[in-house]
Amino acid sequence: MTGVVTPDTIIERMKEFGTVEQVRKNRVRVKTVPGRLHDAITTSQAVLLFDRLVTISTIDNGESFELLYHLIGPHRTIISLSISLPRDAPVTPTVSDILPPAGIYERQIHDLFGIMFAGHPDLKKLMLNEDWPENEHPLRKDWKPGPDTFYGGIKGERM
């Protein structure tokens, strides 16, 4: 892109992907859907110069999960691309193919929330112990430790 990247130019360019709002002077949020996320990231990289992933945040709001992909560029403006996933089937395509640093965040989110990233090359455990019980994700609001289950060598009743 030639010229200055401003929140107004970001809003104009990203509105095709969903709802766009300026939430702070240097921050824009785009609410999109999982199927449009790749295109939204590619456009933000190629056209708007958002060339670095800051982090991926996860919110468990009790009814669904929200993922926020925060990117920044040399213009020091942050774009947050937001998608919502249903609680009963939290699956979204990986973005590690176009943002390689996303792979480590996706592994953390998979461990702690149980969100599946389709196409991720290796969703092995990262944050939790290897002996952590399958399908137990400690940052979900509805997670409760089992009384006779061992979590990293500690019995659930002591947690």
| Mean pLDDT calculated for residue range 119-148 | 89
Q: Tell me the three state secondary structure of residue 85.
A: strand
- The angle formed by the CA atoms of residues 33, 117 and 81, to the nearest 5 degrees, is 35
Domain-embedded: residue 149: yes
Residue 100's Cβ-side half-sphere holds a number of Cα atoms within 13 Å equal to 0
45-71: pLDDT as tens digits: 999 999 999 999 999 999 999 999 999
25 and 77 assigned to the same domain: yes
What CA–CA distance (Å, rounded) separates 47 from 86? 30
87 and 133 assigned to the same domain: no
The pair of three-digit structure tokens given for residue 41, joined into one six-digit string:
């990231």
| Mean pLDDT calculated for residue range 122-144 | 90
What CA–CA distance (Å, rounded) separates 40 from 97? 14
User: Domain range for residue 153?
Assistant: 128-159
Going by pLDDT thresholds of 50, 70 and 90, the confidence category of residue 158 is very low
Q: How many domains does the chain have?
A: 2
Distances (CA, A) of 31 to 20, 21, 84: 6, 9, 8
Query: Which stretch of 23-32, 91-100, 120-129, 149-158 has the lowest confidence by average pLDDT?
Result: 149-158
Q: What is the per-residue pLDDT for 159? A: 44
Contact between 41 and 71 (Cβ < 8 Å): yes
71-117: pLDDT as tens digits: 999 999 999 999 999 999 999 999 999 999 999 999 999 999 999 99
- The angle formed by the CA atoms of residues 119, 123 and 129, to the nearest 5 degrees, is 170
57 and 132 assigned to the same domain: no
Mean pLDDT of the chain: 91
15 and 67 assigned to the same domain: yes
Q: What is the per-residue pLDDT for 149? A: 78
